[in-house]
Amino acid sequence: MTTLYHQPLDTASRCVRLTLSEYGISTHLEVEKLWERRRAFLLLNPAASVPVLKTDDDLVLVGAGPISAYLSESREDRGAPLMPVDLAARAEVRRLMDWALVLMEHDVTGVLTHEKALKRSIPADHGGGAPDTAAMRISRDNLTWHLDYLDHLLSTRDWLAGERISLADLAFAAAVSSLDYLGEIAWAERSACKLWYARVKSRPSFTPLLEERVSGVIPPAHYDDPDF
Amino acid sequence: MTTLYHQPLDTASRCVRLTLSEYGISTHLEVEKLWERRRAFLLLNPAASVPVLKTDDDLVLVGAGPISAYLSESREDRGAPLMPVDLAARAEVRRLMDWALVLMEHDVTGVLTHEKALKRSIPADHGGGAPDTAAMRISRDNLTWHLDYLDHLLSTRDWLAGERISLADLAFAAAVSSLDYLGEIAWAERSACKLWYARVKSRPSFTPLLEERVSGVIPPAHYDDPDF
């Protein structure tokens, strides 16, 4: 069976879980405590990062970009939903995936999930402890700009990279869902984002993420409500 | 004509320049001073990052991953050198590109090029000034581990992602070339890396990079010597 090594609030892990689910691939999930630097895991991925996907024919795939490219390319004969055929449209999907998975992760999501959630689980001698409130403040400032950009895109598009849902929507929805779990999104000010997120969140692929809880962190009441 | 907006020591920019050159696409180069936040450039890429490629039919492509994917996919009917056909091999190329362009960039190359070179060009009120020696020390420690990994890969492979040169080699060679420009690589201790880098560096696609000089920073004498 396909196994995904992941972290529950990690954007890239969530993006891959959504992609697997959209493609109808049932997957065994393993939470990887990266700070333990487990030897068997480092042999799979010396970069010591998640997500890592081990397919049922023992192929090891590392990172949300390579994993989703592999999954969509191996489905191209079946019409490959989530990745358009047109080369320029594919480039736009990839640009936005990089935005959510690298840029926004660096500026916002990676910092807030680390400070607010992960540091509770990590032992003090491995970098756990009290959150760095200065880092969190900067990330919250950055978040405003990223959500402004999302609003801007959605003012002219139904879905982030065009007329159909794509990997770009899953990558951004993954980031937004983690931030929403942490109560970081002021939805009242974000009507365009909210309509888009409600549509993504209503998809069956999203249900397992919304039902999951992270130890020690309670999400806001609207988190798992598709009609929030 | 195709135009590339770039920064001379930026890994992702160098990776795209090598790819364009390997594919025989002659390109007009524009150095983009990102800290000036030029309005016309922000309209091309609101993320305010390089590389950005504007094709001769006015398509705007952002980021080394999306640009190289576009270039290789639009050449697939011509045998698409630099990107293998096999799906697992493609995943390995992408994993290593992410390693050089995201992980190593974050841990090492981005920091050292910023501190040692870029800060000389940026005005003080935009973040320029004296280098942060503590950040540089950490990056140098990290570099050892990244080069160890490169040595490890090259102990079983002729090229980083397999038997033929690929985008993975160009991405790592881009990073290594910037670090070498800054005198950061102790080649005497790195025989496997050195043999591989000498082979990549001898390719005609590399010549323009090796001939270029960055204002205020002089590379070591061996930098532009393919038989160093």
Q: Answer whether B98 sits within 8 Å of A61, measured CB to CB.
A: no
CB B116 within 8 A of CB B136: yes
pLDDT per residue as tens digits for the range A122-137: 999 998 999 999 999 9
Distance of residue A220 Cα from the nearest chain B Cα, in angstroms: 30
Q: State the pLDDT at residue B226.
A: 87
Q: State the pLDDT at residue B137.
A: 98
CB B176 within 8 A of CB B193: yes
CB A175 within 8 A of CB A105: yes
Residues in B closer than 8 angstroms to A62, CB to CB, are 91, 95, 98
pLDDT for A79 beyond 70: no
A87-204 CATH: 1.20.1050.10
Residues in A closer than 8 angstroms to B102, CB to CB, are 102
Which among B57, B223, B91 is positioned nearest to B161, based on CA atoms?
B91
Which among B69, B87, B45 is positioned nearest to A99, based on CA atoms?
B45
Q: Which residue of B has its CA nearest to A57?
A: B88
Report in angstroms the alpha-carbon separations of A22 from A53, A61, A122, A185, B188: 16, 18, 32, 25, 50
Q: How far apart are CA A171 and CA A200, in angstroms?
A: 11
What is the pLDDT averaged over residues A141-146? 98
What is the pLDDT averaged over residues A26-51? 97
Q: Answer whether A73 sits within 8 Å of B90, measured CB to CB.
A: yes
Q: State the pLDDT at residue A75.
A: 86
A and B: number of Cβ contacts within 8 A: 65
Q: Tell which of B85, B94, B96, B151 to mutate to test the A interface (max A CBs under 10 Å).
A: B94
Q: Tell which of A50, A68, A102 to mutate to test the B interface (max B CBs under 10 Å).
A: A102
pLDDT per residue as tens digits for the range A169-195: 999 999 999 999 999 999 999 999 999
pLDDT for A80 beyond 80: no
- Which of B63, B66, B95 minimises the CB distance to A63? B95
Q: Answer whether B66 sits within 8 Å of A91, measured CB to CB.
A: yes
Q: Answer whether B73 sits within 8 Å of A87, measured CB to CB.
A: yes
Model confidence band, residue A227 (pLDDT cutoffs 50, 70, 90): confident
pLDDT per residue as tens digits for the range A98-130: 999 999 999 999 999 999 999 999 999 998 999
CB B166 within 8 A of CB B160: yes
pLDDT per residue as tens digits for the range A188-213: 999 999 999 999 999 999 999 999 99
Q: State the pLDDT at residue B78.
A: 73
Q: State the pLDDT at residue B77.
A: 73
Q: Structurally, what CATH architecture does the domain formed by B1-228 represent? A: Up-down Bundle (1.20)
Which among B172, B164, B112, B160 is positioned nearest to B138, based on CA atoms?
B112
Question: Strands A52-54, B60-62: parallel, antiparallel or unpaired by DSSP?
Answer: unpaired
Helices (H), B105-132: 110-113, 119-121
Identify the sign of the CA torsion A76, A77, A80, A86.
Answer: positive
Tokens representing A126?
């491995």
A216 Cβ under 8 Å from any chain B Cβ? no
Distance of residue B225 Cα from the nearest chain A Cα, in angstroms: 32
pLDDT per residue as tens digits for the range B183-198: 999 999 999 999 999 9
Residues in B closer than 8 angstroms to A94, CB to CB, are 63, 65-66, 69
Q: Tell which of B95, B96, B172 to mutate to test the A interface (max A CBs under 10 Å).
A: B95
Residues in B closer than 8 angstroms to A149, CB to CB, are 46
A132 φ, ψ (degrees, to nearest 5): -90, 100
Q: How far apart are CA A34 and CA A12, in angstroms?
A: 14
Q: State the pLDDT at residue A228.
A: 85
Question: Strands A52-54, A60-62: parallel, antiparallel or unpaired by DSSP?
Answer: antiparallel
Q: How far apart are CA B156 and CA B93, in angstroms?
A: 16
Q: State the pLDDT at residue B227.
A: 85
pLDDT per residue as tens digits for the range B204-221: 999 999 999 999 999 999
| Pick from A87-96, A155-164, B73-82: least confident | B73-82
Quote the ipTM score.
0.95
Which among A56, A55, A54, A53 is positioned nearest to A65, based on CA atoms?
A53
Calculate the average pLDDT of chain A. 96
Q: Answer whether A61 sits within 8 Å of B87, measured CB to CB.
A: no
A74 Cβ under 8 Å from any chain B Cβ? yes
Q: State the pLDDT at residue A226.
A: 87
- Which of B49, B62, B91 minimises the CB distance to A66? B91
Residues in B closer than 8 angstroms to A106, CB to CB, are 106
In this structure, what DSSP letter does residue A220 have? P
Model confidence band, residue A5 (pLDDT cutoffs 50, 70, 90): very high
Question: What is the mean pLDDT of each successive set of 10 residues along chain B, which is 228 residues long?
Answer: 97 98 96 97 98 96 98 81 94 98 98 96 92 98 98 95 95 98 97 96 97 95 92
What is the pLDDT averaged over residues A30-43? 97
Return residues 44-63 of A near B (CB < 8 Å): 46-47, 49, 59, 61-63
- Which of A59, A67, A94 minimises the CB distance to B69? A94
User: Element (H or E) spanning B168, and its range?
Assistant: helix B167-181
Residue A126: CB atoms within 10 A of its CB come to 13
How far from each other are the two terminal CA atoms of chain B, in whole angstroms?
A: 35
The pTM for the full model equals 0.96
Tokens representing B49?
């990052």
Q: How far apart are CA A133 and CA B197, in angstroms?
A: 43
Domain topology for A2-78: Glutaredoxin (3.40.30)
**Domain map (residue ranges) of chain B:** 1-228
What is the pLDDT averaged over residues A49-57? 96
B151 Cβ under 8 Å from any chain A Cβ? no
B70 Cβ under 8 Å from any chain A Cβ? yes
In this structure, what DSSP letter does residue B185 have? -
